[in-house]
Amino acid sequence: MEDLYNLSFAFALAAAFICLSNLFFIRVQDRMGKTQNTLFVLLLFVVAINGVCNTISAFLVPYKDTSDTALFVTEVTRYLYFIFHTALAPLFFYYVSHVCGVLFRSKASFKTYLSYIFLVVSELLALTNPLTGFVYYLDDNREFTRNWGEAVIYIASAYFLIMGLYYLTSTWRALTVKRRTGILMFAAITIAGVILQLIFSKLKIELFAEAIGLTGVMMIVENEDDRLDNETGLYNRQAFLMDLESYFLNKVALHAVCIRIITPDIISRKRGADNRELVEKKVAEFLESVHEKYNIYRIGRRTFVLLVFRKTDDEVYELAKSISDRFDRPWKLVDALVMLQSSIIVADIPKQLTTLSDAIYMFDTAKPSHEEEKTIIAGDDVNKILRGSAIEKSISNGLAEGKFEVYYQPTFTTDGRRLHGAEALVRLHDDELGMIYPDEFIPVAENMGLIDAIDDFVLLDVCNMIKEEKLYEGPVDCINVNLSVVQFMKPDFVEHINGIVEQIGVDKKLINFEVTESIYASSYEILSRKIEKLQVDGFLFSMDDYGTGYSNMRALASMDLDCIKIDKSILWEAEKNELGMIILESSVRMIRQMNKAILVEGVETEEQIKLLEKLGVDYLQGFYFSKPVPKDKFLEIVKKNSAQSSSD
Ligand code: C2E
Ligand code: CA
Ligand code: CA
């Protein structure tokens, strides 16, 4: 037994020694200084104090039965030991929750308050023990005896341990292997120490185990070398992704402020290779002066993100504004002053960015359209960018999953108001966003290079419908199909279109392609040749949106298009004012003189029809007759109209 006492003395001394050395090492290193680091220092401190206390009481064991002073000192160290040791479990819990990114970053929750209550109650019990003896007392034989307070402290510790492990597992995905191993290792070593001490109750090895465990944590978790960016000393992209993922997992509310330096490469080219790095260093330094260093990340070239906790939208905007204002003044690089331009995005997490991929898109790829005009993008502008991203996703998924659908809007003859055909208008159904209209997704699809696939899909659908439903036998003269500018420019465009229609076996006269005027503006010669070729093959062509955008008279005059579609805005203006009426009237007169068919779209009222009838417009399209409808609905309209026309 004597040996065990000596061993306990050695273990306690070693624990104190290890922790005090670790505290010294930390002092020497330049750590981030965030709460997590402070908590770790506290953990070391607590174990160090406990080690000192145990060293003293182990040393006094042989004397305490004979000397009252020795007994008194033993009691004092025991008391100190209890006060500090009681704080160990809560500290460990707060530490783990910080490593996992859970607590204190959002508004205090029920769990936070509960943890405070447990902490305060156990500490009060330990502190007041000399008066109450609730935790332990010495019995008549001067034997150490545990009381009910000890059980309460144990329950509190169990609570902290379980909650800590709970946060650890719920954040598992967002922790690097290193961090997981570090914390688990600490838990495992500590538990091993506790078990050993339970078995050999006189062997005080628990503290020594904790000290060794903390050393591991210091080397593995607290050492953040792999999270640091070499150039600026801020956190790097990897750290950003990990931290943000844990905030998402733990539903922490925060704001992200992304600062991108968008000044062209002129500086680096003009003033030597090191300047690029220097620019980033300067900006990093400035950011450190306005925000805590440990919440700043350099996520890419010239791109920084600040994570801001527990601030209102307005407060965060103010911060963004002050950063933006700094860019109105020059920056000093070695010997020269330069002006830098910034683009700042302020996003609310999780209100606006709900997933890590949202955030990556927002800060990496999103190119705000008004980058030049607005230096701070926040609120609704952020939502717009996100909507764009959602639509991009929807388009690429939609093609694979068959989420596109062709709607048909019937067209009618003015004279007799008989069914003439329909315009094929594409729709995109998204599980989350609902129906998306082409005005919104066609430009996006064009940018993504996916418009060909969509237009092909529409043409195929039209051809299949004509073939399967034998539309050529009924009142339908032609189905109008919109063509995108982009598709038109492809070298094998003519062969491609012919290929699709011939493969299904549809009379080309039944297809009327709508082309927008803006197409003609770019490369007129090539286009007119392509259109002519397709017309020779049998297709019909319409000029879409006449009267909007570039009014290219030359295109109108020298190309033999079959039909001109006057845009709805021209019709609506004509109703509103004299000048509009003159434009509509003279447009119609001019096109009639050119001997081309005229279709007016956007017809919504009986009065409009009367007007267009008087002017001599050939075809009408608009909500007055029908909105664009799904294929079945359109086929019903066809059926009704064939019955009518045969009974006429
Ligand atoms: P657009 O070619 O000018 O098509 C006419 C648009 O006006 C359609 O909008 C139609 O729903 C709407 N419209 C028709 N009549 C009325 C009316 O009486 N009142 C009102 N308020 N609106 C009316 P939609 O379907 O949203 O299409 C928008 C544009 O998207 C189209 O303009 C067209 O440029 C483009 N688009 C649609 N489908 C395709 C397609 O398959 N391929 C390509 N490349 N573009 C397409
Ligand atoms: Ca059209
Ligand atoms: Ca139009």
Q: What is the pLDDT of residue 491?
A: 87
| Cβ neighbours around 501 below 10 Å, total | 22
- Before 438, cis peptide (omega within 30)? no
State the DSSP H helix or E strand holding residue 646, giving kind and residue range, or none if neither: helix 631-647
**Rounded distance between C-alpha atoms, residue 68 and residue 72, angstroms:** 6
Q: How confident is the model at residue 487 (pLDDT cuts 50, 70, 90)?
A: confident
Q: CATH 1.20.1070.10 residue ranges in the chain?
A: 2-223
What atom in ligand 1 is closest to the CA of residue 545? 3
Q: Is the pLDDT of residue 648 over 80?
A: no
CA of 43 to the centre of ligand 1 (A): 67
Tell me the Ramachandran region of residue 356: left when phi exceeds 0, alpha when psi lies from -120 to 50, beta otherwise: alpha
Q: How confident is the model at residue 425 (pLDDT cuts 50, 70, 90)?
A: very high
Question: Does the C-beta of 437 come closer than 6 Å to ligand 1?
Answer: yes
CA distances from 312 to 109, 306, 373, 386, 474 (A): 18, 15, 25, 21, 64
Which of 428, 450, 482, 541 gets mutated to test ligand 1 (max ligand atoms within 8 A of its CB)? 482
**Rounded distance between C-alpha atoms, residue 376 and residue 114, angstroms:** 40
What atom in ligand 1 is closest to the CA of residue 601? 15
Q: Is the pLDDT of residue 550 over 70?
A: no
Question: Does the C-beta of 479 come closer than 6 Å to ligand 1?
Answer: no
Ligand nearest to the CA of 567: 3
**Rounded distance between C-alpha atoms, residue 194 and residue 175, angstroms:** 27
Q: pLDDT over 70 for what percent of the chain?
A: 93
**Rounded distance between C-alpha atoms, residue 457 and residue 399, angstroms:** 9
The number of C-alpha atoms within 13 Å of 294 and in the hemisphere containing its C-beta is 16
List the alpha helices (DSSP H) in 61-87.
Answer: 68-86
Query: Tens digits of per-residue pLDDT, 320-376?
Result: 999 999 999 999 887 778 888 899 999 999 999 999 988 998 898 776 555 455 689
Query: Tens digits of per-residue pLDDT, 243-275?
Result: 999 899 888 899 999 999 987 655 555 555 566
CA of 423 to the centre of ligand 1 (A): 8
CATH of 398-647, one of 1.10.10.10, 3.20.20.10, 3.30.70.890, 3.20.20.450: 3.20.20.450
Give pTM, 2 decimals. 0.73
Whose C-alpha lies nearest to ligand 1, atom 43? 482
- The class of domain 2-223 in CATH terms is mainly alpha
What atom in ligand 1 is closest to the CA of residue 407? 25
Q: How confident is the model at residue 31 (pLDDT cuts 50, 70, 90)?
A: confident
Q: Is the pLDDT of residue 520 over 90?
A: no
The mean pLDDT of 207-230, rounded to a whole number, is: 91
Identify the weakest region by mean pLDDT among 205-219, 553-567, 574-588. 553-567
| Cβ neighbours around 312 below 10 Å, total | 9
Q: CATH 3.20.20.450 residue ranges in the chain?
A: 398-647
- Spatial CA neighbour of 81 closest among 3, 33, 23, 136: 136
Q: Is the pLDDT of residue 303 over 90?
A: yes
Q: CATH 3.30.70.270 residue ranges in the chain?
A: 226-378
CATH of 226-378, one of 3.30.460.80, 3.40.30.10, 3.30.70.270, 3.60.10.10: 3.30.70.270
- Mean pLDDT of all residues in the chain? 89
